[in-house]
Structure 1
Amino acid sequence: MKSNHPVLHFPKTGVEKMMDIISLLFIVINLVYLISVWNTLPAEVPIHFNGKGEVDGWGGRALIWLLPTISLFLWVGLTLMERVPHLFNYPIEITEKNAAFQYRNARMMSLFLKVEIILFFLYTSWESVHVAMGKEEGLGTLALSIFLILLLGSVAFFVTRSVRNAK
């Protein structure tokens, strides 16, 4: 995959490193939580929720490990991707003059999305356990709504920021 964008390398800032640590910590918390409740889980757990937050799919309890596994792959994949911002697709033309800002902006967007998605997966795992144990009935629409607003809001913020700083 080749790009005609300038190739720049710059270290992550303290805030960026902290966001990486926070997202990784969410994965660890998810794993520790699931390990702690594993022996109390019933044979079947919710594996899918519909748009209303209602359970519409059940599976064996081993599937409870799916979200933390996806979280880990997401973390690794996005972390590796953040190293090559010159390969990203941008809504504006990348030049020598704006490349540093655009790359940092895109990397920050990736970090925000990583934290938000992994936190939602942690919450969904927690809710899945509670539903499996009969303590809850589903995610509810509020959780999904908040997640989508945060996710789409972050994308809109960073894309707008990119376009405003196109020069």
Structure 2
Amino acid sequence: MWFKGLDIINVILLLLLFVRAIKAYPKLPQKIPTHFNLHLEPDAWGSRVMIFFLPTLAGFILSLFMVVLPESEPNLIVPITPENREVQLYMGDLMTKLLLLGILVFKHFLLSITICTEPACRKQFKPYIIICFISVFVVPFVYMVLSYIYR
């Protein structure tokens, strides 16, 4: 299907996440922010090794979405009939791939504000982080609506 390209994009995003973390590691101070409040001000600190937590978590999520979930029978929100099976499976696959894309882009922005030491630098990422965060909730909602329309 055409969205195999989304799998490739997701893997590339994961690799870029690791590359950015490795590239930034030598330049980081000994303590880096590991958690931020809603105003993107750091409220928890950790060692600079924590820069690899986001890429590792993203790798775990990617492997879950690409290896474990396709092997299991999908739990779709509408009853599957022979007439709607193809459409429902297609929409379910597309939703999971778009959801993963949103999560990986969100993690890129989180890594950016972790690397960024200037408060003004962090503020420029706020609209993008909000959009990514909202998309993680909007994509499944749109999927649910479309599933009921095409049942």
TM-score if structure 2 supplies the norm length?
Answer: 0.88
Counterpart code for 2:138: G
SS of corresponding position for 1:45: strand
CA distance in 2, matches of 1:84, 1:97: 22
2:127 to 142, 145, 149: 142
Is contact 2:105-2:132 (8 Å) kept? no
Which residue of structure 2 aligns with residue 159 of structure 1?
144
Is contact 2:28-2:48 (8 Å) kept? yes
Counterpart code for 1:24: V
Which residue of structure 1 aligns with residue 108 of structure 2?
122
Higher relative contact order (CA 8 A, sep 6+): 1
1:111 to 72, 82, 97: 97
Q: Deviations over 1:14-68 (max 9, x none)?
A: x321101111111111111121121111001111112332211110000110000
Counterpart code for 2:50: L
CA distance in 2, matches of 1:33, 1:151: 23
Deviation at 1:157, TM superposition (A): 1.6
CA distance in 2, matches of 1:25, 1:62: 22
SS of corresponding position for 2:90: helix
Q: Deviations over 1:96-145 (max 9, x none)?
A: 221221111111000001111011101211220013xx464645642332
SS of corresponding position for 1:51: coil
Sort the Cα spacing of 1:135 and 1:51 in 2 relative to 1 into closer, same or farther, 3 A.
closer
2:50 to 36, 50, 63: 63
CA distance in 1, matches of 2:24, 2:136: 29
CA distance in 1, matches of 2:148, 2:74: 18
Which structure shows the higher helix fraction? 2
Runs of 4+ in structure 1 off by over 4 angstroms are: none
Q: Percent identity?
A: 22
Is contact 1:116-1:147 (8 Å) kept? yes
1:91 and 2:77 equivalent? yes
